[in-house]
Structure 1
Amino acid sequence: MQLKLNGIWLMLIMLTGVFSLLFLWFTLFPGRVNPEIGQYFSARQISQGRDYVQGMRLVFIGGFITQTVFLLWLVFGGRAVALSRWIQQFTGGGLVSYVLFFLVLWLLLRLINLPFDLFGSYYWQHHWRFSTQPLGNWWLDYFKSAGLEVVLSAVGVALLFWIMGRWSNAWWLVGAIFLSLWLVVQSYLWPVLVSPLFNRFEPTKDPAVLAMVDELSQKAQLPVDRVLVMDASQRTTKANAYFTGLGGTRRIVLYDNLLADYPADEVRAVVAHEMAHWRQGHIAKGLGMGVLGNFIIWGLLFMTLKTTIPTISAIPRYGQYPPYTWAVIVLFLTLISFTANPLMNHFSRNMEFEADRVAVRLTGDAPAAERLQVRLAAKNLSDVAPPAFIEWFSYSHPPAPARIRAIQQAAE
């Protein structure tokens, strides 16, 4: 039985193909560097950043294309239907057949992506002397994340197909509500339940950092009592910081190597930037946009499945959708998340610009913020001169020169 290619599929496949080819082209041929960038970065830093990032981009697009081609072959080549029928015969049908189909597909996709994961997050990081993690620890992290993913996903898939059988015409709305609630719950629980599985977090005891945080929090009129230090140096030499959580689980997290390797005024600029995200409500705004996009995607998914999968009324209790529906859903979500990248990253970059501007007003120290951007980009081997398409499509944070210009404007 062949599944139907409707207009939504054709549009998604066409956009995915165009974006993939453009991404690959500009990864291989990034073009010339604007000479103005030379006032902040040496030719060697620019070249090394491009070489490192080119490898990471090839891993990303190679893994994505491989997975997508496999899913297209599986779904529209009839293999998913055949596997679904065999599993139903083997299990006798029922909810277990859906969970088993999910597990088989999950394992196949994991195996397909494993070479890309291993090369990008272990070999390439060691090659550039970023990773400090032994191979055994890398595998331990890999299996922990895989185990967490398969358990949560299996529960989600079982719940999804139960909902699809219970509300045959409104399952997309019920599913969108459930997932939106999960996004909110996850924002509360992830920092305190999941993140500690991979890293150790301890409240900072440095009196200078505490005094600096207290000063900035008073200026921002924000109570901050959770500034945590993460043992990032156990895995990487890269320095970073981030803001996470909602309500009582909100926290600013600083990498230990940031505190060890960067001067106090630049650490202050980092804390001010993360506090600015807090002050401007960026996590709540991002969550709100995620919930809105979630409803749109579920609605599109409902319309797509309705015209892709033939109605099957012979499946008791679980509605008209057979187990291979999960492969169709995974393909749909893979394509739509890829093609929606530019929109999501546009909002993210705007939030980063806003946080930079607010941070400069909090610290009153634009030069330190500028030096921070230069030092972070140089040490992390960022591509400071990305092709316009690459920046538009995949950059969640603006490149360093753009952030420096925004900081200078905010200080005027």
Structure 2
Amino acid sequence: MTPTVILYVILSILAFDFFLERILDVLNLRNWTPELPIVLEGIYDQEKYKKSQDYQRAKYKLSFLSSTISFIGSFLMIVLGGFAWVDELARQFTDHPILIALLFFGVIMLASSIVGMPFTYYSTFVIEEKYGFNRTTIKTFILDRIKGGILGIIIGGGLLALLIWIYLQTTDNFWWMAWSVLAGFMIFMTMFYSSVIVPFFNKQTPLEDGELKSAIEEFANKADFKLDNVFVMDGSKRSSKGNAYFSGLGAKKRIVLFDTLINELTTEEIVAVLAHEIGHYQKKHTLSGIALSLMQTGLMFYIFSIFIGNPALSEALGSEVHGFHLGLIAFGILYSPISTILGLIMNVWSRHNEYQADEFADVNYNGKALGDALIKLSISSLSNLTPHKAYVFFYYSHPTLLQRLKAINYKKES
């Protein structure tokens, strides 16, 4: 394809993605009703139902404005040669391809962060504050941005530099060598994310001996699940929303409970949530998920290796000098339809796995307690309980609350 054709394809993909997202948003909004649906009776009251809609609507308006500005900015950067201009700017300081790429993405990411900062601030200190979720202080907000930026420079910049170095050393073997590096990094992060990255942002302390720890250990032993590490994280320093997650593999796996979750749920409900997570491990969902992610990454690098040497990618963005970084930008947009299709397949697979994990918790522990926990978490976070089916298909990695309750035959006590 000629640079002009590639340019038109890139712009078409950007426009299609933007308008598809807006259509899905509108469908989702129109799926709401002013009166509490019959299926939600006994779960939400009318006042809470209206508040959840107001909250979701406020988030949608901010998201619409943010995504519109992002779309217009990206569109103009391509049409007016903005990426080529940043490339020329970077080349004024160095002629080393790795340093050029690092400077290029440094400028792009800095500009993106500056543009996005007001929206992040408004979301945290206006919307989340208004609906009683925000616990973040200005100091924490600023430190999070700084820490995130530093980690992005070290990790993202380091990986990018290594991938470009591999590309410069070889062409035929680039895709599998780059894939091997990224695969190793993905596995490392799966195993050590909670112990290496999380401490930069949150404190994690071992769960104290008591009723909760005993109940968790008792079920883990019953489910033949070796568990030595249960931690409590100070999630309340940022939000009142509760959460819990598993991380790691083998001997490095650990359970992390937000302190807000412990305060919100009963012991039985917390164990039910963890039984769901243990179900994922026992059903091999974690390992299969890692394997599928690695396969997708390998496919992406293989296709990328075919196109990255084509100077037409850089020319489509307005540059007369071909660069790895410009090719990466163009390829990222061109590859997005494939990424979207793979993402849809992964979402279907993920929702299937969630049903299986719920069933595991229902059969091996207490489905009623799991249902109670899911309801409490949905209500307290003002979740949208009636999303449009198309919206669920495109975006949801989990079934909706009502779908999950129906699958485990949940019945709320009167």
The two structures share one fold, judged by TM-score above 0.5? yes
Q: CA deviation at 1:247?
A: 2.2
CA distance in 1, matches of 2:305, 2:38: 50
Gaps of 5+ in 2: 316-320
Query: Percent identity, aligned pairs only?
Result: 22
Tell me: CA distance 1:271–1:311, structure 2 relative to 1, closer, same or farther (3 Å).
closer
Query: Paired residue for 2:401?
Result: 400
Deviates more, 1:324-333 or 1:100-109: 324-333
Q: CA deviation at 1:390?
A: 1.7
Tell me: CA distance 1:258–1:393, structure 2 relative to 1, closer, same or farther (3 Å).
same
1:301 paired residue among 301, 304, 310:
304
1:357 matched to 2:356? The reply is no
Tell me: CA distance 1:289–1:137, structure 2 relative to 1, closer, same or farther (3 Å).
same
Q: Does the Cα contact within 8 Å between 2:3 and 2:312 map onto a contact in 1? A: no
Query: Paired residue for 2:144?
Result: 141
Q: Give secondary structure in 2 for the equivalent of 1:408.
A: coil
CA distance in 2, matches of 1:269, 1:94: 52
Q: Give secondary structure in 2 for the equivalent of 1:91.
A: coil
Q: Give secondary structure in 1 for the equivalent of 2:236.
A: helix
Deviates more, 1:225-234 or 1:294-303: 294-303
Query: Paired residue for 1:367?
Result: 368
Q: Does the Cα contact within 8 Å between 2:14 and 2:71 map onto a contact in 1? A: no
CA distance in 2, matches of 1:284, 1:235: 31
Alignment of 1:11-410 (within 5 A): 12-13=13-14, 15-32=16-33, 34-305=37-308, 309=312, 321=323, 323-329=325-331, 331-332=333-334, 340-363=342-365, 365-408=366-409
Whichever residue aligns with residue 229 of structure 2, its letter is R
CA distance in 2, matches of 1:270, 1:47: 27
Q: CA deviation at 1:129?
A: 0.8
CA distance in 2, matches of 1:130, 1:311: 45
Query: TM-score when scaled to structure 1?
Result: 0.87
Q: Give secondary structure in 1 for the equivalent of 2:255.
A: strand
Q: Does the Cα contact within 8 Å between 1:384 and 1:401 map onto a contact in 2? A: yes
Tell me: CA distance 1:152–1:263, structure 2 relative to 1, closer, same or farther (3 Å).
same
Q: Give secondary structure in 2 for the equivalent of 1:229.
A: strand
Q: Does the Cα contact within 8 Å between 2:125 and 2:134 map onto a contact in 1? A: yes
Could you report, residue by residue, the CA deviation over 1:225-276 in whole angstroms, capped at 9, with x for unpaired residues?
1111111122211112111112232111111122223222212212212222
Deviates more, 1:178-187 or 1:322-331: 322-331
Whichever residue aligns with residue 367 of structure 2, its letter is A
Q: Does the Cα contact within 8 Å between 1:16 and 1:339 map onto a contact in 2? A: no
Q: Give secondary structure in 1 for the equivalent of 2:133.
A: coil
Could you report, residue by residue, the CA deviation over 1:206-229 in whole angstroms, capped at 9, with x for unpaired residues?
321222122211221111111111
Whichever residue aligns with residue 380 of structure 2, its letter is K
Q: Does the Cα contact within 8 Å between 1:75 and 1:328 map onto a contact in 2? A: no
Q: Give secondary structure in 1 for the equivalent of 2:239.
A: coil
Query: Paired residue for 1:315?
Result: none
Q: Does the Cα contact within 8 Å between 1:373 and 1:400 map onto a contact in 2? A: yes
CA distance in 2, matches of 1:344, 1:57: 25
Tell me: CA distance 1:85–1:141, structure 2 relative to 1, closer, same or farther (3 Å).
closer
Over aligned residue pairs, what C-alpha RMSD do you find? 2.9
Whichever residue aligns with residue 298 of structure 2, its letter is F
Whichever residue aligns with residue 309 of structure 1, its letter is A
Q: Does the Cα contact within 8 Å between 1:230 and 1:255 map onto a contact in 2? A: yes
Q: CA deviation at 1:93?
A: 4.2
CA distance in 2, matches of 1:233, 1:174: 42
Tell me: CA distance 1:88–1:239, structure 2 relative to 1, closer, same or farther (3 Å).
same
Tell me: CA distance 1:57–1:349, structure 2 relative to 1, closer, same or farther (3 Å).
farther
Q: Give secondary structure in 2 for the equivalent of 1:324.
A: helix
Gaps of 5+ in 1: 313-318
Q: CA deviation at 1:382?
A: 0.7
CA distance in 2, matches of 1:396, 1:259: 24
Q: CA deviation at 1:77?
A: 3.5
Q: CA deviation at 1:30?
A: 3.1
Whichever residue aligns with residue 153 of structure 1, its letter is G
Q: Does the Cα contact within 8 Å between 1:191 and 1:249 map onto a contact in 2? A: no
Q: Give secondary structure in 2 for the equivalent of 1:90.
A: coil
Q: How many residues align?
A: 403
CA distance in 1, matches of 2:337, 2:397: 19
CA distance in 1, matches of 2:71, 2:332: 10
CA distance in 1, matches of 2:402, 2:386: 8
CA distance in 1, matches of 2:5, 2:324: 15
